[in-house]
Structure 1
Amino acid sequence: MSPTPVLLDCDPGIDDALAIAYLVAEHLAGRIELTAVVCTAGNVGLEDTVANACAWLDLAGAPELPVAAGASGPIAVPHVLTPETHGPRGAGHAQLPTTTRSTDPRDGARLWVDAARSHPGELVGIVTGPSSTLAHALALDPALPRLLGGLVMMGGTFHGHPGNTTPVSEWNVDVDPEAADAVCLAWETAQADDPAVPAPLWCGLNLTERAVWTPERSERLLEASDSPVARRLTEALRFYFEFHDSVGEGYLAQVHDPFVAWLALHPEAVVAGPANVRVECAGEHTRGMTVADVRGHRGRVDNARIATDVLVPGGPDAVLDEICAAIVSLAGRPD
């Protein structure tokens, strides 16, 4: 069988960098075809997300592939950056090399549509940042839900798990709730018309906060690989450890994005349940909340699957072992 075509929409960001390295490793191993990378403003501004994505692709030794700039901010509200979380340029303590990788002249929304139409029914989209570019792509081509083979979102929080931005909201959704809700509504409309349209997999904090990278794992990574990509990742992660420690989580890092990338490539290992998901965009205390109707109270079709666990001995920690091993396999670009 041909490798699964994958598009990554990201906002690097430290844990996005781990996701990029992991997906490049899977591409080079022939297990997926990383067809495109879309960069959305999120953790840092659009110029930095594009530069960071290209630099991490270079360090990982990725072949040339389309890399496009997407949305420069949320679709309806001002953009809030997170220098305290990922550093002023989005790479923590890592000094990234200047990239010579060319970017695609297409807008990120157009790249979403073109990639889906090039692989109808096959392309798996992975969103590890705000949904802003995807919302623009859905406006550009409302048929997109029927064209994708699957969509996996890092966003939201479910089943009463607390938020990380407000008491009820997760950051990727909170930064652009209107975009996230547009994604929910687009799939609700598509699935009402055709129940065969695959429902997006929402991977919220209730699951992704269990993916914890420790300094000991960084040490093991460096012991196994002294590659430039491994060194830069551990430098970036040191900033992430410091951030989590500053907010009372301990000297560790919750690495949501590579965990979600792994889930996207291993659907058979995901425990998930159906729901109708919408995003609150107006509530004074609940803006950005992902509201999951699992009992059919609103009488609407299920437009999502909510991930709750992984069927892997050792759980998320074992998944991070796999991701670490994939990164070790990268020779990458020399310094």
Structure 2
Amino acid sequence: MTSSPGGMDPGRTGRIPVLLDCDPGIDDALAIAYLVAEHRAGSIDLAGLVCTAGNVGIEDTVRNALAWLDLAGAPPVPVSAGAAGATVVPHAFTPETHGPRGAGHAGLPPSTRVPDPRSGARLWVDAARAAPGELVGIVTGPSSTIAHALELEPALPRLLRRLVVMGGSFRGHPGNTTPVSEWNVDVDPEAADRVCLAWEAARSVDPSVPPVRWCGLDLTERAVWTPEHSERLLAASGTPLARHLVDALRFYFEFHESVGEGYLAQVHDPLVAWLALRPGAALTEPVHLRVECAGEHTRGMTVEDRRGHRGRPANAELVVDLSVPGGAGAVVEEVAASIADLH
């Protein structure tokens, strides 16, 4: 298990180029707003958003991304439509999780922004080629679009500074979709496995290629947003962004309560976005990772080899804990404060 100091990781130019592949989604909205705040603070260069079909369809995830960028006061950012569904099997939409259009109870205003005409896979490749060795890629939805990007550019693992993925469930932690699978992986396990195989191949040739950092449910379920967070956000910032986020999160509270988690929200995606910018804040374990794509009871399971049974190079680092005081709770507070500062 390894760690290093937890400050922001500066790019060689001082601003870290970041691409977010998301499926907005309520916790994705928090991640988008947080990354806009970091962009406006001069810490990162938000190079683009790729929208993948998730709990709702691609039209809604693109619409939501554009609207959240407007509400956050983002500069012009390319937003591309990625995969409209899973790569092999029919896509399983679940509007009960984030609402019928993916924004909970929030009535998002129409955006004047126009989606980028490039496919999401092409935006991945173009952004990586524009900043070779610098781009930080973040995936907070299914891996469907980045799987297509790897078909366009098999060298993508060598072009990225790092890739951080919200997906999987590790170290015996139960799944949230089946007993063993997490939703982002379960909806398209073939795509997630392609990511594993691509990084295995790249690291077999060049061990300096960074392994993919996977943030599973065993980590991200610790990031909890409560009604008190919403109250403090509204008190600190009465902006339309804050009001719409609070309306969206109210639906997410209701969903979590309906599945026995309590009146709260597990906000996986902003935790992963925060960690992507602060690699030293992660305690990690190198493993060889594959995704089960065929099992009758285990399809979508992320299977990590810690002991080298497969004799393959580590293609993944599991983020097992945080090295910052207060852990995930402190990260949620920092994310909320950053969003409150957006005016």
Q: What is the TM-score when the length of structure 2 is the normalising length?
A: 0.96
What corresponds to 2:278 in structure 1? 266
Q: Secondary structure at the match of 2:294?
A: coil
What amino acid is aligned across from residue 157 of structure 1 in structure 2?
S
- TM-fit CA distance, 1:43: 1.4
What corresponds to 1:115 in structure 2? 127
- Say which of 171, 177, 180 aligns to 2:189: 177
Any stretches of 5+ residues in structure 1 without a counterpart?
A: none
CA-to-partner distance for each residue in 1:1-43, whole Å, 9 max, x for gaps?
4200000000000000000000000000001110010000011
- TM-fit CA distance, 1:102: 1.1
CA-to-partner distance for each residue in 1:96-124, whole Å, 9 max, x for gaps?
00011011110000000000000000000
- TM-fit CA distance, 1:65: 1.3
What corresponds to 2:238 in structure 1? 226
CA distance in 1, matches of 2:100, 2:241: 20
Q: Secondary structure at the match of 1:276?
A: strand
CA distance in 2, matches of 1:142, 1:86: 33
Aligned positions of 1:88-99 closer than 5 A: 88-99=100-111
CA distance in 1, matches of 2:43, 2:338: 11
Aligned positions of 1:1-335 closer than 5 A: 1-331=13-343
CA-to-partner distance for each residue in 1:161-188, whole Å, 9 max, x for gaps?
0000000000000000000000000000
CA-to-partner distance for each residue in 1:79-101, whole Å, 9 max, x for gaps?
11111100000000000000110
CA distance in 1, matches of 2:42, 2:155: 29
What corresponds to 2:8 in structure 1? none
CA distance in 2, matches of 1:290, 1:257: 18
CA distance in 2, matches of 1:108, 1:37: 8
- TM-fit CA distance, 1:312: 1.0
CA distance in 1, matches of 2:26, 2:94: 11
- TM-fit CA distance, 1:292: 0.2
- TM-fit CA distance, 1:224: 0.5
Q: Secondary structure at the match of 1:57?
A: helix
Q: Secondary structure at the match of 1:186?
A: helix
CA distance in 2, matches of 1:36, 1:83: 25
Q: What is the TM-score when the length of structure 1 is the normalising length?
A: 0.98
Where does structure 1 differ by over 6 angstroms across 4 or more consecutive aligned residues? none
CA distance in 1, matches of 2:244, 2:16: 28
CA RMSD of aligned residues (A): 0.5
How many percent of aligned residue pairs carry the same amino acid? 74
Aligned length: 331
Which has the larger displacement, 274-283 or 307-316?
307-316
